[in-house]
Amino acid sequence: MRIFLPKLLETIEFSGTETSVPILSAWEFLRSIEGKVRPELSVAPLALVNKGWARLVIEANGEINRKAYSFCVLQCLRAALRRRDVFAAKSSRYCDPRAKLLQGAAWESARAGVCRTLNLPPTFEVELKLLTSQLDEVYRRTSANFPTNAAVRIEQEQGRDTLVLTGLDKLDEPSSLVALKQQVAAMLPKVDLPEVLLEVHARTGFANEFTHLSQTNARVEDLHISVCAVLLAEACNIGLEPLVRSDIPALTRGRLSWVQQNYIRQETLIRANARLVDAQTQFRLAKIWGGGEVASADGLRFTVPVRTINAGSNGKYFGVGRGITYYNFTSDQFTGFHGIIIPGTLRDSIFLLEGLLEQQTSLSPVEVMTDTAGYSDVVFGLFWLLGYQFSPRLADIGEARFWRIDGKADYGVLNGLARNQLNTELIACNWDDMLRVAGSLKLGTVNASELMRSLQRGQNPSTLAKAIGELGRIVKTLYLLAYIDDEAYRRRILTQINRGEGRHSLSRVVFHGQRGEVRQRYREGQEDQLGALGLVVNVIVLWNTCYMDAASSKLRELGQDLKLEDLARLSPLGYKHINLLGRYYFSLAEPLKHGELRPLRDPNTPDDYEVI
């Protein structure tokens, strides 16, 4: 600790919220005694010392143990930084995200435009009437349908009504769908993954989006081949070596290394991926699957065996090691349109809005499905303010709380569930600040994940966070009522989440090298590699969709009647017809058959060998 603490005390200025005052006071005390051999420790601020630390900090004679106190302050400071109670002003990661919100004259001039864009009134009274009417109507409709809804029932648990929802049964596959799947699968050509990349480039030109880092227009012959080879090496996690061919200029080690260093980066990966996502929207089959308005979000976990600060621990996913989460977004057309690298397994809900607001494709999703881990009242509130529908799959609906605005309304069988009263006055008092938050997110003045982190911090949320959460309780209750009342809605959510999980399964198969572990030490390298993985999976999805579309057209030409509901249940995530592992050749030149040696390589051509 003494190696870094003096420099830390001297260099970094911290500030924080009201709840961080005890920590900042203790930090200032440490700063005041730094360098003193025998400081007066009896005046040390002890408000941050909990019972666990008190046994170590306060000795039997009542004196303060300096070392233990310093460790206690550092632990509290670290925790406060992570939950955004304490800020480092000049840090890009730990600065106060609220300082970037629209303020003063900037907000005054932007308010009217923000309200028009979000279709929200400048005061809450009008919206309150609409929400009150809407919530009352949905409560009454769900209550009226309850007796005929076989999937739900209410049980008594510790003297209170608790909702029980029966899970969805697996959908049967009609014989027509089984036959269609078999026919389409049998018609897909067998192909190698490099051919898939080159063919999709020929159709879309996605490799042309990879430009040199210097922004010059310098192009080299067969650059698209080199780009596709590097993308394959990254996505399959096999490195460049298996792809090196000294007899092909586009595949020499020097060319591939040069392309990897100068062409593959987040900017070019995002542009190329956007071209693929846009191309997918043009297929008739993709339009049957969805219109791009619906998406799902989920995390794909990777172990990181190398030492890096951009990884975290989680015994469930990484065992005794550390890892990262690739939090990615899947459209209802099976394409991935955004991905975020998360150290370890931070709460998924923090990154939901970032994916929607910062994605750069032609899609405009308005509804997002996630697993239970992605939901909170604040998320519901912010999604609603920004015009999005948040639709999580609920595994613990019995623990969900239903809220009401009208305390006297009679909702029949649901009265026992609707026992929580909303504080609409809290929303009204903070409505302008809530609009300011939504406007700042929409205009991009503040990072969504940083703001979410500050709003959902610890046990003492700010008044603004409470107000957004209170609004979220209205929206959440509307969602819960629709969720239990409509089996088709639950099925639609499950279908989209399964699409995202299917993409993850395909990603695992593609990312087969080095035991499926990410061995990049730095965040940029991790982003580039997993960005390449997402892009290659999109290439496979696009290629499959193209040929499945052609196969279905061919079947129609042959007079076969294809049902729309069967086509809607096809998936472009199959890979059995694609060779992902390369090919091996078992042949020898005649001289080798007779015991002669191959010619030795020239050591003066460094591009053609690796030092061992």
Residue 496 lies in a domain: no
> Each residue of 189-216: pLDDT tens digit?
999 999 999 999 999 999 999 999 886 6
The DSSP output letter for 337 is E
Residue 74: domain span: 5-95
3-state percent helix, strand, coil for the chain, nearest multiple of 5: 55, 10, 35
What pLDDT is recorded for position 611? Answer: 45
Among 37-51, 265-279, 405-419, 596-610, the least confident range: 596-610
Our count of domains for the chain comes to: 1
Q: In whole angstroms, give the CA distance from residue 538 to residue 544.
A: 10
Domain assignment of residue 210, yes or no: no
Cα dist from 578 to 184, 192, 272, 499, 605, whole Å: 15, 5, 22, 20, 35
Residue at 251: amino acid letter: L
152-169: b (≥16 Cβ within 10 Å) or e: beeeeeeeebbbebeeee
Alpha-carbon gap, residue 199 to 207, rounded angstroms:
11
Q: Phi, psi at residue 152, to the nearest 5°?
A: -125, 150
Query: Looking at the domain assignment, is residue 179 inside a domain?
Result: no
pLDDT for position 105: 92
Residue 431: which pLDDT band, with cuts at 50, 70 and 90? very high
Which pLDDT value is given to residue 218? 64
Phi, psi of 443, rounded to the nearest 5 degrees: -85, -5
Angle, CA 501 vertex, CA 515 and CA 166 arms, to 5°: 135
Side-chain-side CA neighbours of residue 59 (13 Å):
10
User: At 14, which amino acid appears?
Assistant: F
Looking at per-residue pLDDT, the higher value among 438 and 92 belongs to: 438
Contacts of 465 (CB under 8 A, 6+ apart): 378, 454, 455, 456, 457
pLDDT digits (tens, 9 = 90+) for 503-529: 999 999 999 999 999 999 999 999 999
In terms of Cα–Cα distance, which of 333, 329, 331 is closest to 287? 333
Mean pLDDT of 99-109: 89
Answer whether residue 585 is part of any domain: no
In a domain, residue 365? The reply is: no
The answer to whether position 526 is within a domain reads no
Asked if residue 197 belongs to a domain, the reply is no
Least confident of 5-14, 165-174, 406-415, 416-425: 5-14
Q: Is the confidence at residue 460, as pLDDT, over 70?
A: no
The fraction of the chain above a pLDDT of 70, given in percent, is: 97
Q: What pLDDT score does 606 carry?
A: 59
Contact 473, 400 (CB under 8 A): no
CB atoms within 10 A of CB 467: 25
pTM value is: 0.85
CA distances from 608 to 20, 155, 234, 249, 423 (A): 59, 72, 20, 11, 71
Q: Measured between alpha carbons, how far is 456 from 461 in angstroms, rounded to an integer?
A: 7
Q: In sequence order, what are the residues at sequence separation of 6 or more whose Cβ sits closer than 8 angstroms to the Cβ of residue 136?
A: 405, 406, 409
